[in-house]
Chains A and B, each alone.
Chain A
Amino acid sequence: MMLTFVILGLLLSGSLAWYSDDKPFFGVRFQAKWVALVAVIIFSLIFVFSVYLSPLNFQTLQTIAHVSWINSLNINYTLALDHLSITLIMLTLFLALICILVSWDEIQEKSGFYYFNLLATFAGIIGVFSAVDMFLFFFFWEVMLLPMTALIAIWGHEKRYFAAIKFFIFTQVSSLLMLVAIIAMAYIHQQQVGDLSFSYQDWLSLELNNELALYLMLGFFIAFAVKLPSVPFHSWLPDAHTQAPTAGSVLLAGVLLKTGAYGLIRFVIQLFPQASENFAPIAVTLGVVSILYGAKMAFAQTDFKRLVAYSSISHMGFVMLALFSFNEIAYQGVIVTIVAHGLSSAALFSLAGMIYQRIHSRNLTDMGGFWQSAPRMGGFGLAFAAAAFGLPGLANFVGEFLSLVGAYQVFPVMVILAAFGLIGSAIYGMVLFQKTFQGSSLKTVPDLSCRELIVSSSLLMLLVILGLYPNLLLQYFRGVIL
């Protein structure tokens, strides 16, 4: 039940933050950010300890909550965890802390409502990563969408309404396809077994003919490919990332994109193994196109956040490529890439936020020579850019290397094409770093504050640890055969 407790707790403490913001209690003036911070720390600790102390073996999905919800349609409130979802939930909780810390000074208006939305999004995301009843999954999918849209639309930058609406429409249209597929699956279950079921575990045993499986698979695939995002469904992402407040960008890049990857792993590939294997050449091509197209687009940008946004598309291409190679090595690469990209893109977006707070611009032409006045920020900037272009020793390299080695066993030509992405990433990484921190110094900016130092160094530390000792993560994903 502890997961329910965490999800509900996050929602409730979000409400508490909203309600209590700027109100005196017993002579102490409450601030929403403190409420949010304390709540996230407490619930993270609860989650970590309860998983750590749990006697269950998370190698396979372990149902940890099961309550019937809508009896007439056989819809249940079912949560389950395995190593994949635990990893992603831990990533979410860690980035939740980062999100709160980067919003600390940035959000001054309506801060109560802001932290409510932030915490509600986290609750939704954790729900998405743990729901195994597909109706519940869809419910959480929507729960995370609404507050996220609000975050962009209310606290975003100059074109925030446009970006929020674009984000909303893209996600809604694609999740509509998924909803149709979900209902169809429940109906098929009724035909084959006799009763309606939305349970993921029940669906695993369904027998589908090839054509039907392909269409249903596509319904899920498109929903998750939009979220991942993969070319050609990616164009919501640069706008949403650029216009969102810093924490919004961290959240989007760090975890929200991972719901797409998670969906592909858990639902598309496991529910429709045959159909997705037949579909693999197309998916792999999309992955390679994303890698190259994202890298190329990133190079052309002059907006710091937009550049990072396109680089995310490029990185997620590696996930798509590796996932549809159906290879154990590549799968391990996917896991590491997911976590590493979560950290490195969060780091770059936090950096963008720090710079924005100092010069009130995201434009690379307004930057330059910051190393002179802010050497610490420059050092972190270099390390994060290096993580993004896959410098060995940082986590992203392990992910990319394993993905490519694994995928090479199956699709050598595609991997050779994808490898050009390594050159592309070096180009945009260098441009990003050099335009910001090198060159003649136009402005003097204050160096990192203590809070910013904590954010940057904790992210960098994790990147280095996972880069040099990825077994910390990979030990849980040995011998997984897709």
Chain B
Amino acid sequence: MNLLASLPLYPLLSFLVLISFGKRLSWAVASWLSVGAMGLSALCSMLLVAQLSTSEVNVITSHLWQWFSVGSAKVNVSFYLDALSAVMILVVTGVGFLIHLFAAIYMKSDENFTRFMAYMNLFIVAMLVLVLADNLVLLYLGWEGVGLCSFLLIGFWYQEKNNVLAARKAFIVTRIGDTAMAIGLFLLFKSLSSLNIVEINQLAQTSETFSLSIANNEASDAYWAALLLLGGAVGKSAQLPLQTWLPDAMAGPTPVSALIHAATMVTAGVYLIARMNGVFIMAPEVMTYVAWLGAITLLLAGVAALAQTDIKRVLAYSTMSQIGYMMLALGAGAWSAGVFHLMTHAFFKALLFLTAGAVILALHHQQNLFKMGGLLKKLPFESALFFIGLACLVALPGTSGFFSKEAIIASLWLSPTAGASLWWCAILGALLTSIYSCRLFFLAFLGEQRFPKDLVISDHLETNHLLRGALVVLALLSLFGGLFTIDLSTVLPLSNESELSPGWLHAVAIITPFIGIAFSWFYFKRYRSRDIISLNESQSSWLVFCRNGLGFDVIYRFLLVKPYCFITQLNRRDLFDQLIMLSAWYVEIWRDVLSASQNGRLRWFAGTFGLSLVGLILVVIL
């Protein structure tokens, strides 16, 4: 049992203890157990990364047992740590530990506290399996596992009908993507006869038939495999066209949003594409699709974020949009820039969500931005942290978000699978990001206080040093996380150098956020003005349309959900059964007719006898 194999073991053990003893554990025991397990995991992953950096082969593996074998290909329960998964385990366990710490205090008064922490631990287990898996089937296990935990945590307060529906939606929508991915696995196995990730990435490059189209008009296996894997990725990472579940997923408790729907699970799609880079490189068309999907999601989510009134939904759309950046980077072949942004985004988005959670709790579960305002004075500490988070989000120079986003934007112009138009999309996206961030900050923290003046700021969070400590660490990571250099050259292909692109690109990219801020400063003057006591959200139909996620929900309801429900309702009685029961009915009719004829009356018998005789004679004669 080596260190790598023990990494998911601690949260797993903690989960088992928590779920079997349940409410019998006190708050202190349950939180020590779950947070402690996460702390151990985080320590282990740091040790592992230290080992990895000194190891010569750049890979640590751990084979546990053979799960099953598919023909000659073995599917093992084995873990595989290289530079890419190292980044992921650091994010998952590090940020995960801080969020667990926060959650233990945040959820303290919930009656199902142990169940909550148990799910959080289970989620970490599944996520670690996902990123450490050495084959696609084990990855799929983690993939479905995080989906299930996400479902459980979104619907954690299951007594509310809306939460239940949001949880169901999240699970089923991502399952659609998962199914595409499963078909991709079948296809990969058929054409490469392997399910091992490293082998597939190598075979994809060397196999002659894989990237070759069979006939002229038919797409190659590589094309389809990449496209199907992309299907899985867009489902999990809430990209177009399967993005609709993410805003609704905000129904879950805020630490869940921070952990699952900002820092870790939603980036699994990005990880999948980066992991399977060997396949994607062989399908340049799909790389372009990835880039375009990312760009469109980035813009649409940015527009939708502009119209939200719920602080968590703004952050949700912002997450979607930032993952769009990562996809854009991957599609452009800037692999490490995409992964780098994944890491920095995990830091600052977790910070934003947790701080938002602290604000929401302080205002007694008020999430509506139009009922906040003036929090800078009431909650200066949280305001400062939130400001740091937003600064990273809009990529102000010096913050971590700046380094990662610049790296992405710089790689776009000359990339063969992206190009100038996508560069402009990214710039436009940066502009949108800064505008909605300003709007958010103005509405929540500046302006006049719009909640009742006598509302007592609930302070059980204020005083807690541990909780603040977790937030401060995240804030430091967000500020200085850009200074970490991650060397992914051993895993991912190098991106094309951008020395040749025009010099003004950089200048434009750096200036854009400031333009956005300046624009908002004047355009959203109402929001930051101290004179306006009450603000009402605009009800113009365009804004409502954007607020409701640009109509995707409506389209899906009418194109998919309603028809499916209609067909099932139509055939609720089972057509085949009806047909078979028809024969039973036919038999019954004859039974009735014949039994009616057996009435025992002589007259009747004589009559039928005579009639039949006449009939018989007629038949004979004619």
Inside 8 A of B190's CB, which chain A residues have their CB? Answer: 408-409, 412
- Complex interface: stretch among A136-144, A184-192, A399-407: A399-407
Does chain B have a CB within 8 A of A328? yes
- Complex interface: stretch among B280-288, B383-391, B547-555, B565-573: B565-573
- Bound: A415/B159 CA distance, A: 38
- Bound: A295/B492 CA distance, A: 41
- With both chains docked as a complex, state the minimum distance between the C-beta of A417 and any C-beta of chain B, in angstroms: 10
Inside 8 A of B185's CB, which chain A residues have their CB? Answer: 405
- With both chains docked as a complex, state the minimum distance between the C-beta of A403 and any C-beta of chain B, in angstroms: 11
The answer to whether A439 and B158 touch across the interface, beta carbons within 8 angstroms, is yes
Does chain A have a CB within 8 A of B382? no
The answer to whether A423 and B158 touch across the interface, beta carbons within 8 angstroms, is no
Chain A: interface residue total (CB-CB under 8 A): 54
Q: What size tier do the contact residues of chain B reach?
A: 35 or more
Candidates A301, A332, A426; contact of B175 at CB < 8 Å: A426
The answer to whether B159 and A369 touch across the interface, beta carbons within 8 angstroms, is yes
Does chain A have a CB within 8 A of B524? no
Does chain A have a CB within 8 A of B542? no
The answer to whether A297 and B141 touch across the interface, beta carbons within 8 angstroms, is no
- With both chains docked as a complex, state the minimum distance between the C-beta of A232 and any C-beta of chain B, in angstroms: 5
Does chain A have a CB within 8 A of B145? yes
In the complex with contacts A231-B576, A391-B148, A300-B175 CB distance below 8 A: no
Inside 8 A of A405's CB, which chain B residues have their CB? Answer: 70, 185-186, 189
Chief secondary structure at chain B's binding surface: helix
- Bound: A431/B568 CA distance, A: 14
Does chain A have a CB within 8 A of B43? no
A-contact 0/1 string along B575-606, CB 8 Å cutoff: 01101100000000000000000000000000
- Bound: A328/B577 CA distance, A: 35
The B-contacting residues of A in range 426-451, CB under 8 angstroms, are 426-427, 430-431, 434, 437-441
Q: Which residue of B lies closest to A410 (CB)?
A: B190
User: What is the number of contacts between chain A and chain B, taking CB atoms within 8 Å?
Assistant: 122
The B-contacting residues of A in range 313-347, CB under 8 angstroms, are 328-329, 332
The answer to whether A422 and B182 touch across the interface, beta carbons within 8 angstroms, is yes
* Most B CB within 10 A of own CB, among A401, A409, A420, A438: A438
Does chain A have a CB within 8 A of B218? no
- Bound: A235/B183 CA distance, A: 30
A-contact 0/1 string along B327-356, CB 8 Å cutoff: 000000000000000000000000000000
Candidates A297, A371, A416, A422; contact of B158 at CB < 8 Å: A371
The answer to whether A329 and B71 touch across the interface, beta carbons within 8 angstroms, is yes
The answer to whether A427 and B172 touch across the interface, beta carbons within 8 angstroms, is yes
The answer to whether A426 and B137 touch across the interface, beta carbons within 8 angstroms, is no
The answer to whether A329 and B172 touch across the interface, beta carbons within 8 angstroms, is no
- Complex interface: stretch among A39-47, A54-62, A351-359, A469-477: A469-477
Does chain A have a CB within 8 A of B164? yes
The answer to whether A392 and B576 touch across the interface, beta carbons within 8 angstroms, is no
- Complex interface: stretch among B61-69, B422-430, B480-488, B508-516: B61-69
Does chain A have a CB within 8 A of B574? yes
In the complex with contacts A405-B189, A474-B68, A375-B568 CB distance below 8 A: no
The answer to whether A392 and B141 touch across the interface, beta carbons within 8 angstroms, is yes
The A-contacting residues of B in range 65-79, CB under 8 angstroms, are 65-71, 77
Inside 8 A of B182's CB, which chain A residues have their CB? Answer: 401, 404, 419, 422
Inside 8 A of B65's CB, which chain A residues have their CB? Answer: 469
Q: Which residue of B lies closest to A327 (CB)?
A: B71
Does chain A have a CB within 8 A of B178? yes
The A-contacting residues of B in range 132-164, CB under 8 angstroms, are 137, 140-141, 144-145, 148, 151-152, 155, 158-159, 161, 164
In the complex with contacts A391-B148, A430-B171, A438-B179 CB distance below 8 A: no
The answer to whether A422 and B148 touch across the interface, beta carbons within 8 angstroms, is no
The answer to whether A408 and B158 touch across the interface, beta carbons within 8 angstroms, is no
Inside 8 A of A439's CB, which chain B residues have their CB? Answer: 158-159, 161, 164
Q: Which residue of B lies closest to A169 (CB)?
A: B584
B-contact 0/1 string along A370-412, CB 8 Å cutoff: 0110010001001000100001110001100110111011001
In the complex with contacts A416-B183, A440-B159, A401-B572 CB distance below 8 A: no
The answer to whether B568 and A420 touch across the interface, beta carbons within 8 angstroms, is no
- With both chains docked as a complex, state the minimum distance between the C-beta of A464 and any C-beta of chain B, in angstroms: 12
In the complex with contacts A296-B568, A422-B182, A434-B164 CB distance below 8 A: yes
Does chain A have a CB within 8 A of B470? no
Q: Which residue of B lies closest to A332 (CB)?
A: B68
Inside 8 A of B379's CB, which chain A residues have their CB? Answer: none
- Bound: A437/B158 CA distance, A: 9
The answer to whether A391 and B144 touch across the interface, beta carbons within 8 angstroms, is yes
The answer to whether A386 and B148 touch across the interface, beta carbons within 8 angstroms, is yes
Does chain B have a CB within 8 A of A83? no
The answer to whether B140 and A392 touch across the interface, beta carbons within 8 angstroms, is yes
Does chain A have a CB within 8 A of B546? no
- Bound: A104/B70 CA distance, A: 42
In the complex with contacts A297-B571, A430-B172, A235-B68 CB distance below 8 A: no
- With both chains docked as a complex, state the minimum distance between the C-beta of A344 and any C-beta of chain B, in angstroms: 16
- Bound: A392/B130 CA distance, A: 12
- Bound: A297/B576 CA distance, A: 11
Q: Which residue of A lies closest to B228 (CB)?
A: A416
Inside 8 A of B564's CB, which chain A residues have their CB? Answer: 296, 299
Inside 8 A of B172's CB, which chain A residues have their CB? Answer: 423, 426-427, 430
Does chain B have a CB within 8 A of A468? yes
The answer to whether A404 and B186 touch across the interface, beta carbons within 8 angstroms, is yes
In the complex with contacts A405-B70, A419-B179, A420-B179, A434-B574 CB distance below 8 A: no
- Bound: A471/B66 CA distance, A: 8
Does chain B have a CB within 8 A of A254? no
In the complex with contacts A423-B179, A430-B168, A392-B568 CB distance below 8 A: no
- Bound: A144/B569 CA distance, A: 36
- Bound: A393/B140 CA distance, A: 10
- With both chains docked as a complex, state the minimum distance between the C-beta of B537 and any C-beta of chain A, in angstroms: 29
The answer to whether A426 and B67 touch across the interface, beta carbons within 8 angstroms, is no
Inside 8 A of A469's CB, which chain B residues have their CB? Answer: 65, 67
The answer to whether B155 and A470 touch across the interface, beta carbons within 8 angstroms, is no
The answer to whether B571 and A300 touch across the interface, beta carbons within 8 angstroms, is yes
Does chain B have a CB within 8 A of A238? yes
Q: Which residue of A lies closest to B169 (CB)?
A: A430
- Bound: A426/B173 CA distance, A: 10
In the complex with contacts A232-B576, A405-B70, A470-B68, A300-B189 CB distance below 8 A: no
- Bound: A115/B203 CA distance, A: 59
Does chain B have a CB within 8 A of A234? yes
The answer to whether B186 and A408 touch across the interface, beta carbons within 8 angstroms, is yes
Q: Which residue of A lies closest to B572 (CB)?
A: A300
- Bound: A470/B572 CA distance, A: 37
A297-B571, A297-B574, A386-B148 given; name 14 further pairs at CB < 8 Å: A232-B576, A301-B572, A369-B158, A375-B22, A379-B19, A392-B145, A398-B67, A404-B182, A426-B175, A434-B155, A437-B158, A439-B161, A440-B159, A470-B68
Q: List 28 A-B contacts (CB under 8 A).
A: A231-B576, A232-B576, A235-B576, A296-B568, A332-B68, A369-B158, A379-B19, A391-B145, A392-B140, A392-B141, A392-B144, A392-B145, A393-B141, A393-B145, A405-B189, A408-B186, A408-B187, A409-B190, A419-B179, A422-B175, A422-B179, A426-B171, A426-B175, A430-B172, A438-B158, A469-B67, A470-B68, A471-B66
The 5 closest A-B pairs by CB, nearest first: A235-B577, A392-B141, A300-B568, A438-B158, A408-B186
